[in-house]
Chain A
């Protein structure tokens, strides 16, 4: 302990710090923001997704993930795997081509960019001459065919990207052998599609936008056939045997063409408009898959009747008499079919349809009757309803884990039992060290339970609080109802549903006790639900109580939203967490803090008006305390609802800003080049500086006063068994911290277990501490006689923690946004402090106690504070001496919602949102590191293709690029619901905007 006291650099401590702390951004969970391209390698069984910010992500078997980032940060337009290789080519919207490869390095595969290339035309030619529109990696793996806007098809050698000019296929050459009455030079503008003949690698099919399709012989450099459609061409697809191909068109039709050697100009076999006869939207991509029974699967995107269903994002599957149009809630980016990749197989036999929509990945099992969806093990749409809060629970007991999984499996019965079809690569990461749960609260009143133990964030169970309330929406409104004779046969698929029926249902705070299975959930309209895990369905009445937090304050009128109406009588709940108590705060302001003590059976909740304590055993309100300053009109009237419309417009304007900047700045930093990051930062700073000079912003310098608005806002609640009144007797206590720097402590008398139902719980205010600097209190913690934070409720009872030291004197740690202060107990005198803001100009946003274990020895671990500041830095501060240990930049300071969304785990990891749909996982600990580690091998080649690389095995991967790829990730932060509700600074901004508008 003495080493903590010594100032300056203690070499022993410095060494220990290296063994304890290490910052890594390890993996991105969730669904990529703004996906823009999809690719699939049937050979590697890997899927690649490109985004508008230039990222590419590869996914295989669960746990197999790679990430790469184009330095240009430009939208990825196309992704093509090189056949039978661990390589892929990407095309960006700046017309650059990039060759990536998966190579083994240090025992794991990594994804690396090998080459980049931009096609250059002859001097003076227009940019369209070389604007790449179609890419065909040839099966020889030696060349790429690049179709362009000008109609030229360039041939480049791989991997050098050398242009083989003598092999360029010019429109002139194509037109030579085509009768002029059908075509002219303009027919050969813009290459829409290039497809290699499935059996004969010397023939490729060239589709020009104006519906001219040419079968080209590469050996003899001449057109063998030409096919003339009547409608603008969208795409082409070869049938497996190469005797026919399909073209799909802008008018919603598709055409089947025979390829025979006798006549050079063919007539179509079949021309269909599947959703005709009225005008239809384009079919942008089509598959024709053969099966043993002779009935093909025809799968195409779009083609819906323009007038009535033109706004649908659909993919239709036709198999004999079965036809379904899968209807997605967001735009379809691209799709592919997983089918038999064995070249010797006679039929395609498709097994799954994989669809990348803008907001989610949907996989349909084509083998099972009814074509059910497959539950994806990764790429979960975290934002299927906007995330409003998150809560992490480490080290879940196996029993609870199994019960949650079993509750979740009952919800997932409509999913296919098919094993995950994209299963390339091998996960070689060690098993996750413990079972961790990440709980996310959503705008629609649901709580989702995610398995956050490993690399794949996987949905275990979804809990809805909606059933407790009467809402306008009918809960039985099933999206999947399909009328018998409906046409087109639309079927909703996917989970992304951004429209909340009632914003009041939004979840704001979650607290789960992992030992007892009690869960407390609080929401936007002041509702607090206490739930218990039940393995069976049950029907029961939810006890309902109201907590009037204004008490004697009279003459005020709440102008915010109304409280939620409750359902009378028994409600049927499915197996899982079932609510048994509902407390509604009055006024129904958003719940800003929540604490649950499962041993004492008490739940505490706070809003901008005050806080209350509820005994959920006796179902009785113990007390309420109003914290509101009488002059605080803004809080009284419900500012949160008044700013609702403003919030929306703010959100929209931020979105606009983001859109305009994201393409140039997002994910700046590349895959691991620190100096470039710095350069970029410097440039960015310069830009900012220039902007500032144009429009100087003023900041008012004024001390906080008791009359400031929102001082009564309860920021934190904490239960502790400690010495509140005198040093001889400890007792249960409840602590509350407000936005105005006040800490209230209540002494609780909880009857012993045998009389728990007979005697009431009593509470009495014992202390009130007013911090002179009046900064919001964001954390309260009691340290025991050994300066260890008090254990969680029931932790000792389950033998998972040493019982706290009740001999030595306890200490109280109060964390405000500006300072850390340690006070003695029971007599409050100040002992230590760390004035963070005065020294560094940053403010505390999140704080948690985390346990750090040494990577060198198993027997050493210590508790420290993990702190996230408003600048996006993470600092580790020692306990109990409040010495700064280490600081890491983590989130961009402009990323308000990223900072607001951050949660720390108990063992030095954390999560924050890098987009509405993605969590970045980071680790501060040397010991607890969850990161992807996987190997992709080239499968044994069955064909006579020769292997290029010497080793015979080529591997690939993603480096868990430590810390740099996200740094510059997002420019202006998006203001999301939770950011607004939880971030006091944002509230202030809104408030000042409101005042300014008056």
Chain B
């Protein structure tokens, strides 16, 4: 938690590493933490955000999976929970949320990379965040970070019905993507999850949006497939730097549009 004081201030949530193989995200999370600590007074935008809002940053959102990618299988995506009645391990933490849970866009097969789990919030990694968000009660922006594909996405993934705030979310996305691009020319596409990437049920930001957190976004960071999950470490800092510019657009908008 990054806070300049107050009690239960409106807050921004950022998570990285929910899918363990997406290593540029946890690494970017570390960079964001350092950035906030070093620049919270010198960076005007950041200072003004923190004057009114707190930032919560969860860096290794799927720790078991992350360890597994270091020790056994670099391509592991899911959690490492045991599935009753199956030899296959793990639940896709981005299909385990209570928004269209179990519908099209997730798999009921424990051996699948998009297995939604036995029931919503079955995964402690997910339940912990659900409980936190509900108890905090004052989160105004929620950003979940993935890789790869270079996309900025907003709800919904589980249904083709447009989100009520689609127009505003789309406008924010356009600005955020332009800011990101301004640094190194990295090209991003943006739109709702279902129209831009694919149908996905039980995803994080669909749930947070339905909880009333209007500014709910998912990022897919670099690259577009040349290295994919195995992005060279030399690209970590540039990726984090450009992504931070997009995050600031979203955070500033949240600060300027209280609800």
Tell whether A and B belong to one assembly. no
CB within 8 Å of A: which residues of B? none
CB within 8 Å of B: which residues of A? none
